[in-house]
Amino acid sequence: MDKTLLLELVGIEKRFGGVHALRGVDLDLNAGEVHVLLGENGAGKSTLMSVLSGVITPDSGTLRLDGHPLRLQSPRDAQEAGIVMIPQELDLVPGLDIAANLFLGHERRSALRTLDGPRMRREADGLLARAGVRLQATRLVSSLRMGERQLVAIAKALAAEARILILDEPTAALSAAEAEHLFGVVRELRARGVGIIYISHRLEEVGRIGDRVTVMRDGRVAGQAAPDAPQAELVRLLVGRDFSALFPGHGGAAGEMLLSLSHARFIPAVPRAGWQAPRDVSLSVRAGEIVGLSGLMGAGRTELLSALFGFEAAGRWEGDIEVGGRPFRPGTVDAARQAGLAYVTDDRRGSGFVAGHTVARNIVMSTLRRMTPHGLVATAAERRQVAAALERSDVRPRRPEAKVINLSGGNQQKVVFAKELLSAPRLLLLDEPTRGVDVGAKAEIYRQLRVLAAQGLGVLVASSELPELIGLCDRIVVMQDGVTVAAFAAGVDEETLRRHSIGDATATTRGAA
Amino acid sequence: MSTVAPPPGRPGLRPLALLVRFQSLLGLVLVLLGGVLFSPHRHGRILFLAADNVANIVRSISETGILALGMTFVIIAGGIDLSVGAVLGLSSVLTAALLVNDGWGLAGTLPLVLLVATLFGLLQGVLSTRLRIQAFIVTLAGLQAARGLALIASDNNFINITYGDGPGRAPPGFALLGERLFGDTFPVATLVFVILAILAAFLLNRTRYGRYVFAVGGNERAARLSGIPVQWIRISVYGLSGLCAGVAGIVHAGQFSFGSPNDGAGYELNAIAAVVIGGTDLFGGAGSMIGTIAGAVMLGALANILQLNDVSAAMQLLATGAIIVIAAGLQTVVGRDASSR
- Residue-by-residue DSSP string for B182-219: TTTTEEHHHHHHHHHHHHHHHHHHHBHHHHHHHHHHH-
Q: Give the N- to C-terminal CA distance of chain B in Å, as an integer.
A: 14
In chain B, residues 168-207 whose CB comes closer than 8 Å to chain A = 205-207
- Answer whether B87's CB lies under 8 Å from B242's CB: yes
Alpha-carbon span B330 to B341, nearest angstrom: 17
Alpha-carbon span A298 to A468, nearest angstrom: 19
Q: Report yes or no: B1 at the A interface, CB cutoff 8 Å.
A: yes
Residue A292 φ/ψ, nearest 5 degrees? -100, 150
Nearest to A196 by CA among A80, A35, A4, A26: A35
Which residue is closest to B335 within chain A, CA to CA?
A356
Q: Report yes or no: A354 at the B interface, CB cutoff 8 Å.
A: yes
pLDDT above 80 for B20: no
pLDDT computed for residue B331 by the predictor? 62
The answer to whether the Cβ–Cβ distance between B339 and A355 falls below 8 Å is no
What is the four-CA torsion angle of B68, B73, B79, B85, rounded to 10 degrees? -30
The answer to whether the Cβ–Cβ distance between A411 and B226 falls below 8 Å is no
**Residue B140 burial class via C-beta count within 10 angstroms: exposed 0-12, middle 13-18, buried 19 and up:** middle
Which residue is closest to B203 within chain A, CA to CA?
A376
Packing angle between helix B84-96 and helix B51-76, nearest 10 degrees? Answer: 120
One DSSP character per residue, B289-315 reads: HHHHHHHHHHHHHHHHHHHHTT--HHH
Per-residue pLDDT, averaged over B67-72, amounts to: 97
pLDDT above 50 for B3: no
> What Å distances lie between residue B48 and A14, B25, B68, B181, B274, CA to CA?
61, 19, 24, 20, 21
Q: Report yes or no: A496 at the B interface, CB cutoff 8 Å.
A: no
Rg over alpha carbons for chain A, rounded to the nearest Å, is 25
Q: Could you count the other beta carbons within 10 Å of the beta carbon of residue A484?
A: 23
Please state whether beta strands B159-160 and B258-259 pair in parallel, antiparallel, or not at all (unpaired).
Answer: antiparallel
Which residue is closest to B214 within chain A, CA to CA?
A357
B6: DSSP letter: P
Query: Considering CB atoms only, which of A343, A375, A377 is closest to B225?
Result: A343
Segment B70-114, tens digit of pLDDT: 999 999 999 999 999 999 999 999 999 888 888 788 888 899 999
Per-residue pLDDT, averaged over B168-185, amounts to: 78
The answer to whether the Cβ–Cβ distance between A333 and B225 falls below 8 Å is yes
Q: Which residue of A345, A351, A408, A422 is the best one to mutate when testing the B interface, meaning the one whose CB has the most B CBs within 10 A?
A: A351
Is the dihedral angle over the CA atoms A471, A473, A475, A479 positive or is it negative?
negative
Half-sphere exposure of B24 (CA within 13 A, CB side): 24
Tell me how close the Cα of B26 comes to any Cα of chain A, in angstroms. Answer: 22
Alpha-carbon span A176 to A171, nearest angstrom: 9
- Answer whether B74's CB lies under 8 Å from B274's CB: no
The answer to whether the Cβ–Cβ distance between A377 and B208 falls below 8 Å is yes
Q: Could you count the other beta carbons within 10 Å of the beta carbon of residue B304?
A: 22
pLDDT above 60 for B1: no
Q: Could you count the other beta carbons within 10 Å of the beta carbon of residue A393?
A: 23
Rounded (5°) CA angle A137-A141-A143? 105
B99: DSSP letter: I
pLDDT band with cut points at 50, 70 and 90 for residue B13? very low
- Element holding A428 (H helix, E strand): strand A427-431
Is the dihedral angle over the CA atoms B120, B125, B128, B129 positive or is it negative?
negative
Per-residue pLDDT, averaged over A30-37, amounts to: 93
Say whether the peptide bond before residue A397 is cis (omega within 30 degrees of 0). yes
Percent of chain A with pLDDT over 90: 49
Is the dihedral angle over the CA atoms A396, A397, A399, A403 positive or is it negative?
negative
pLDDT computed for residue A180 by the predictor? 85
**Residue B107 burial class via C-beta count within 10 angstroms: exposed 0-12, middle 13-18, buried 19 and up:** exposed
pLDDT computed for residue B200 by the predictor? 97
What is the four-CA torsion angle of A281, A285, A291, A296, rounded to 10 degrees? 10
Alpha-carbon span B240 to B238, nearest angstrom: 5
Nearest to B291 by CA among B207, B197, B221, B228: B197
Residue B182 φ/ψ, nearest 5 degrees? 50, 65
Query: What phi-psi label fits residue B289: left (phi over 0), alpha (psi between -120 and 50 degrees) or beta?
Result: alpha
The answer to whether the Cβ–Cβ distance between B2 and A369 falls below 8 Å is no
Q: Which residues of A touch B210 (CB under 8 A)?
A: 377
The answer to whether the Cβ–Cβ distance between A333 and B3 falls below 8 Å is no
Alpha-carbon span B223 to B234, nearest angstrom: 12
Per-residue pLDDT, averaged over B152-163, amounts to: 85
In chain A, residues 442-471 whose CB comes closer than 8 Å to chain B = none
One DSSP character per residue, B104-144 reads: --HHHHHHHHHHHHHHHHHHHHHHHHHS---HHHHHHHHHH
Which residue is closest to A371 within chain B, CA to CA?
B208
Tell me how close the Cα of B203 comes to any Cα of chain A, in angstroms. Answer: 9
Residue A479 φ/ψ, nearest 5 degrees? -110, 150
Question: What's the mean pLDDT when you consider all of chain B?
Answer: 85
pLDDT computed for residue A40 by the predictor? 80
The answer to whether the Cβ–Cβ distance between B285 and A42 falls below 8 Å is no
Tell me how close the Cα of B81 comes to any Cα of chain A, in angstroms. Answer: 23
pLDDT computed for residue A506 by the predictor? 45
Amino acid, single-letter form, for residue B266: G
Tell me how close the Cα of B122 comes to any Cα of chain A, in angstroms. Answer: 21
pLDDT band with cut points at 50, 70 and 90 for residue B9? very low
Alpha-carbon span A298 to A27, nearest angstrom: 32
Half-sphere exposure of A130 (CA within 13 A, CB side): 20
Q: Report yes or no: B77 at the A interface, CB cutoff 8 Å.
A: no
pLDDT above 70 for A2: no
pLDDT above 70 for A508: no
pLDDT computed for residue A177 by the predictor? 79
Alpha-carbon span B76 to B130, nearest angstrom: 19
Lowest-pLDDT range of A339-348, A407-416, B320-329: B320-329
Q: Report yes or no: B232 at the A interface, CB cutoff 8 Å.
A: no
Q: Could you count the other beta carbons within 10 Å of the beta carbon of residue A345?
A: 23
Segment A455-493, tens digit of pLDDT: 999 999 999 889 999 999 999 999 999 999 999 998 899
Alpha-carbon span B177 to B174, nearest angstrom: 6
- Tell me if residue A257 falls in helix, strand or coil: strand
pLDDT computed for residue A322 by the predictor? 95
Amino acid, single-letter form, for residue B98: L
In chain A, residues 31-90 whose CB comes closer than 8 Å to chain B = 41-42
Tell me how close the Cα of A351 comes to any Cα of chain B, in angstroms. Answer: 4
Alpha-carbon span B227 to A422, nearest angstrom: 14
Interface pTM (ipTM) of the complex? 0.81
Segment A246-258, tens digit of pLDDT: 888 887 778 899 9
Segment A44-68, tens digit of pLDDT: 888 899 999 898 999 999 999 998 9
- Tell me if residue B77 falls in helix, strand or coil: coil
Three-class secondary structure assignment of A168-217: ECCCCCCCHHHHHHHHHHHHHHHHCCCEEEEEECCHHHHHHHCCEEEEEE
- pTM given for the model: 0.83
The answer to whether the Cβ–Cβ distance between A406 and B222 falls below 8 Å is no
Q: Report yes or no: B17 at the A interface, CB cutoff 8 Å.
A: no
- Answer whether A355's CB lies under 8 Å from B219's CB: yes
pLDDT computed for residue A451 by the predictor? 92
Nearest to A312 by CA among A268, A349, A278, A355: A268
A366: DSSP letter: G
pLDDT band with cut points at 50, 70 and 90 for residue B337? very low
Rounded (5°) CA angle A136-A141-A143? 85
Q: Report yes or no: A380 at the B interface, CB cutoff 8 Å.
A: no
- Answer whether B235's CB lies under 8 Å from B80's CB: no
Q: Report yes or no: A217 at the B interface, CB cutoff 8 Å.
A: no
- Answer whether B77's CB lies under 8 Å from B216's CB: yes
Percent of chain B with pLDDT over 90: 45
pLDDT computed for residue B21 by the predictor? 59
- Beta-carbon pairs below 8 A across chains A and B: 111
